[in-house]
Chain A
Amino acid sequence: MSDPTTSTASRASGFWADTLHRVIRNRAAVAGGAVVAIFVVVALFAPVLAPFDPLKGRLGDRLRAPSAAHWLGTDELGRDVLSRVLHGARITAQVQVAAVGLALAIGTVLGLTAGYVGRSVDQVIMRFMDILMAFPGIFLALAIIAALGTGLGNVIIATGIFLVPQFARVVRASILTLRDMEFVQAARALGQRDIAIVFRYLLPNSLAPIIVQTSLRMATVLLTASGLSFLGLGVQPPAPEWGAMLSNARSYMITAPHVAMMPGLAIALVVLGFNLLGDGLRDSLDPRLRG
């Protein structure tokens, strides 16, 4: 994307075909993409794939080790662990899509405004982002949960706001480099309106870093949201959220460690998938960053 002429409409198909080729040749992107694709399929079809009801268990079958009937065993209420992990993918995907969508929308608007308008508007927006980023890691999400309370919706808001500064910074940085490029200057000289410049030239050319961020932040959201649920401050039981499942499984770590294995492994695999995909996309979409 460093050469702006390749992204104009007449060559668009060639550009995207070329990009697709580079992505496919990138092993990290393909491996990560495969993990993410499996995750999406599981999230979409969990009710069909899961052998049991994730919320109903038989108390006679408490904390059973993995067997032919229950591939991953049962938990402290006799619920099928596999079915719960599969259904957990649904909750996870919901949180990820909503929170990253929220951060993407707000962050892009803020970053775009800061980068394009500049001066005092830039100062005000970026100082506000600095304030949000002054609460390290999970603390900002914790503060929002403290104010709003627990539950799925509030987890989405908390993790979404937590990521707004990341998107705002990436979009702003991209706009700042593009703003003074010749093709943008030319558009302005030809009398194009700001709104047209933003949507026709600046945003399309900022897509690569935005896409990379989206993939990487899917991973961050999952770690943060499951962390909140693990603390008991996120999605609440009996919902089969992976972090909440781990939190319950803690009490049975010694007698039934199998209950804690799968939810943690699921989080790790999905996070790894999005990280690999994001890294691979960065290498293949953004030639400037290729090492």
Chain B
Amino acid sequence: MEGEVIATYVTRRVLLLLPVLLGVSLGSFALLHLVPGDPAMILAGQEATEEVLARIRHEHGLDQSLPAQFLVYLGNAVRGNLGISIQSRQPVATLIAERFPFTLRLAFLAILVSAALGVVAGVVAATRRNSILDIVALLGSLVGISLPIFWLGLLMMLVFSVRLQWFPAGGSGTAAHLVLPALVLGAASSGVIARMTRASMLEVLRQDYVRTARAKGIGERVVIYRHALKNVMIPILTVFGLEFGYNLGGAVLTETVFSLPGIGRLIVEGIFARDYPVVQGAMLVVATTFVAVNLLTDVAYAFFDPRIRYE
């Protein structure tokens, strides 16, 4: 019974995702056709002769109707064929496979940073409500949310790389290269997570079972860490999924500040070089990843909190 309910829930969630994924691929497909100008000219370059253009049109199926082109694009994408980069002549899938793991690692490290900072700050703030610590935590998280990450990145680089020389100023290769980018990227999410943790903690502390635990004479520390925090973690889990996605977005800026070889740089360089197959492919992969992460967190949420499944 229990397993069945979860299975039904997961199936329904996956079915709901299909139109979204279809729309995402349609959006990424449409990108090339929304750019003003002839797609064949964009792919071949401005100086292409009429013969080259005709060949490109045929090779890329641009001489077919748009729906037919989309079906071919979709079929290729499902099989992992995202086209060829105009600039490097390499398969787009290869370029993404080279760059994406780096961004995923960065976004994951940033989530660790923000989980550690955010949950601690949120719990401290909620358990000492209206104290100086609470106000500091609230203001700090608001400042964290408000700082532009590219500026925070430049400041951290100036202080810790240029002045103190603790960490390298950019590039990649060692663990030390990832410290500053992960801190910068995690700062904004930690603000969000701190606020969320504080709010849910306050909510949980008002519940009857917390009052019962306290009435039984259990120490405050045990009440907070054993009884309350466990229930607080469930709603925060969903925020982790969302924040992971925003970290992928923030990685675009962080990678630019620290000259890191991630998928964000790949997209930005692709836009500058008008390398549309790269931009389309990378967008498709990022969006699909984000959708998948959100599905996973929702399923985890339903797993931990039975109330959700019956919604």
Residues of A within 8 A of B (CB): 127-128, 130-131, 134-139, 142-143, 145-149, 219, 223, 226-227, 230-233, 243, 246, 249-250, 253-254, 257, 260, 263-265, 267-268, 271-272, 275-276, 279, 291
A131 to B249, CA, bound (A): 16
Contact pick for A272, options B34, B146, B157, CB 8 Å: B146
Interface size (B, Cβ < 8 Å)? 49
Q: Are A260 and B154 in contact (CB under 8 A)?
A: yes
Interchain nearest-CB distance for B184 vs A (Å): 13
14 A-B pairs (CB sep. < 8 Å): A131-B19, A136-B245, A136-B246, A142-B283, A143-B279, A146-B31, A146-B270, A146-B271, A146-B279, A147-B35, A231-B268, A233-B271, A264-B155, A267-B148
B176-197 interface (Cβ within 8 A of A)? none
Q: Are B268 and A131 in contact (CB under 8 A)?
A: no
Q: Are B271 and A142 in contact (CB under 8 A)?
A: yes
Spot the interface stretch: B228-236, B250-258, B298-306.
B250-258
Residues of B within 8 A of A219 (CB): 146
A257 to B159, CA, bound (A): 11
B249-291 interface (Cβ within 8 A of A)? 249-250, 252-253, 256-257, 267-268, 270-272, 276, 279, 283, 286-287, 290-291
Q: Are B271 and A145 in contact (CB under 8 A)?
A: yes
Interchain nearest-CB distance for B206 vs A (Å): 10
Residues of A within 8 A of B249 (CB): 136-139
Q: Are A243 and B150 in contact (CB under 8 A)?
A: yes
Contact pick for A127, options B20, B149, B290, CB 8 Å: B20
Interface: B158 (CB within 8 A): yes
A128 to B26, CA, bound (A): 12
Evaluate whether A135 and B20 lie within 8 angstroms (CB atoms) in the complex, with A142-B252, A146-B31 already known. Answer: no
Residues of B within 8 A of A233 (CB): 268, 271-272
Shortest 3 CB-CB contacts between residues of A and residues of B: A137-B249, A264-B151, A136-B245
Residues of A within 8 A of B72 (CB): none
A242 to B256, CA, bound (A): 17
| A139-B248, A264-B155 given; 6 more Cβ-contact pairs under 8 Å | A130-B20, A137-B250, A146-B35, A146-B271, A243-B148, A268-B148
A31 to B270, CA, bound (A): 42
Q: Are B158 and A253 in contact (CB under 8 A)?
A: yes
Residues of B within 8 A of A263 (CB): 151
Q: Are B154 and A246 in contact (CB under 8 A)?
A: yes
Residues of B within 8 A of A272 (CB): 142-143, 146
Residues of B within 8 A of A146 (CB): 31, 35, 267, 270-271, 276, 279
Closest residue of B by beta carbon distance from A145: B271
Closest residue of A by beta carbon distance from B279: A146
| Max chain A Cβ within 10 angstroms of own Cβ: one of B146, B147, B250, B256 | B146
B152-172 interface (Cβ within 8 A of A)? 154-155, 157-158, 162
Residues of B within 8 A of A128 (CB): 23
A139 to B151, CA, bound (A): 19
Interchain nearest-CB distance for A194 vs B (Å): 28
A272 to B146, CA, bound (A): 5
Interface: B24 (CB within 8 A): yes
Interface: B6 (CB within 8 A): no
A138 to B185, CA, bound (A): 14
Evaluate whether A131 and B20 lie within 8 angstroms (CB atoms) in the complex, with A136-B248, A137-B246, A143-B31 already known. Answer: yes
Interchain nearest-CB distance for B103 vs A (Å): 11
Interchain nearest-CB distance for B155 vs A (Å): 7
Closest residue of B by beta carbon distance from A265: B151
Q: Are B150 and A227 in contact (CB under 8 A)?
A: yes
Interchain nearest-CB distance for A28 vs B (Å): 9
Interchain nearest-CB distance for B271 vs A (Å): 5
B3-49 interface (Cβ within 8 A of A)? 19-21, 23-24, 27-28, 30-31, 34-36
A67 to B184, CA, bound (A): 32
Residues of B within 8 A of A291 (CB): 199, 202
